[in-house]
Amino acid sequence: MKAIRKFGEFVKENIVKKQSIDKSRADFLIKESEQSYHNLLDMLEKLKVEDSNANMFVKSCYDILMELIRAKMLLEGYNASGWGAHEAEVSYLRILGFDETSVQFADQIRFVKNHRSETCGMLLRISLLGGF
């Protein structure tokens, strides 16, 4: 897996656009992430982390992180959209002061999460078409 690109590259490619600060949407995302975090803690108290559910916990952590990154970007007047938006948001971790190891780790989670989602979607479509 190649290294994630610098945030400025996403701005130059118009994947990230400069816009007015959107405090209300950022506040909404922060509240959503707080609720998701509390739900995650509740699940961790009730469920033992096992191979069968570990992916669910990782996805929940990733989604919470991404909501917080998006909120911070909105507060700074940035918005990522379209192909490459998730990678741009992960790249923004550098702007927030995260070290390169953390950025690369978050990118690996992004890659695996998106790849698994695409694979599951493809398998579901094949199944619905009578392929299994």
Whether residue 12 is contained in a domain is answered as no
Residue ranges making up the domain that contains 115: 17-128
Would you state the pLDDT for residue 54? 78
Whether residue 10 is contained in a domain is answered as no
Would you state the pLDDT for residue 116? 56
% of the chain with per-residue pLDDT over 90: 54
Would you state the pLDDT for residue 1? 59
- The Cα 14–Cα 4 span in angstroms is 17
Whether residue 50 is contained in a domain is answered as yes
Whether residue 60 is contained in a domain is answered as yes
Residues in contact with 108: Cβ distance below 8 Å, sequence separation at least 6, in sequence order: 1
- Give pLDDT tens digits for 29-63: 999 999 999 999 998 888 888 777 777 888 888 89
Whether residue 35 is contained in a domain is answered as yes
Whether residue 47 is contained in a domain is answered as yes
- C-alpha angle 107-120-45 in degrees, rounded to nearest 5: 70
Would you state the pLDDT for residue 22? 96
- The tokens describing 21, both together, are 């600060």
For the chain, the domain total comes to 1
Whether residue 90 is contained in a domain is answered as yes
* Ranges in the chain, pLDDT < 70: 1, 113-132
Whether residue 6 is contained in a domain is answered as no
